[in-house]
Amino acid sequence: MILNHLWGLYAHPKEEWHTIDARHESFRYSLIHILLIALIPSLCAYYSAVHIGWSIGVGEPIRLTADSAMMLSVAMYIALIGGVFALAYLAHWMAHTFGSEPTYTQTLELASYTSTPLFMVGFAALFPELWFVMLVGLAGLTYSVYLLYVGVPILMHIPEERGFIYASSVVTTGLILLVCVMTATAILWSSGFGPAFTH
């Protein structure tokens, strides 16, 4: 069943990582997981931007036109999926340095399941107050990093000490990817692809 590890990763993460390791899913399974879970932030952000409006501080909520919000949501969806695949590739590339020989599918499992709490933060966009989304986002990021540190030694079959350094390298790589996405977004917005607001 799709997303069948979701509850286990929240309720008992260490045991769930062992379950994932015991019966690795196919590449197709991981792909479907990512495609479904990445819909959450994209759809919630679209709905709140068009129908609710974002509260940045004082003043009226900021809303986008439906076309502009759709374009941004599709771009977000593609960027989220691309980010998970890029992180999985980099984790696969770095694994050999730490004495692990995983398949790309294994590192994709690691990337997709550790990014899941961060994607679930998308539900917070249905209450589009900037402070609230930032707090929930910080909690999601913290739990994603925790899942990574717990999961790396189990999925990559390396000692915990080496797994800690490996996981730290993956976190650093993930942060660099995030900065790259933010920079690309800023460049696109300044090139005339910015959002269109309703009046």
Q: Are 148 and 171 a contacting pair, CB within 8 Å?
A: yes
Q: Where are the alpha helices (DSSP H) in the chain?
A: 6-11, 13-22, 27-37, 39-47, 66-95, 104-120, 130-156, 160-188
CB atoms closer than 10 angstroms to residue 18: 14
**Buried b / exposed e across 167-193, counting CB within 10 Å, b at 16+?**
bebbbebbeebeeebeeebeeeeeeee
Structure tokens at 112: 């997709």
Q: Are 115 and 177 a contacting pair, CB within 8 Å?
A: no
pLDDT band at 3 (very low <50, low <70, confident <90, very high): low
- What is the chain's mean pLDDT, rounded? 87
DSSP state string for 91-110: HHHHHGGGT----HHHHHHH
What residues pair up with 197 in beta bridges, in sequence order? 64
**Residue 2 scores a pLDDT above 60:** no
- pLDDT, one tens digit per residue, over 110-139 is 999 999 999 999 999 999 888 899 999 999
Q: At what angle do helices 66-95 and 39-47 cross, to 10 degrees?
A: 160
Q: What is the pTM of this model?
A: 0.88
Q: Are 174 and 182 a contacting pair, CB within 8 Å?
A: no
**Residue 72 scores a pLDDT above 70:** yes
Mean pLDDT computed over 37-44: 94
Tell me what percent of the residues of the chain surpass a pLDDT of 90. Answer: 46
Using CA atoms, how far apart are residues 138 and 136, in angstroms rounded to an integer? Answer: 5
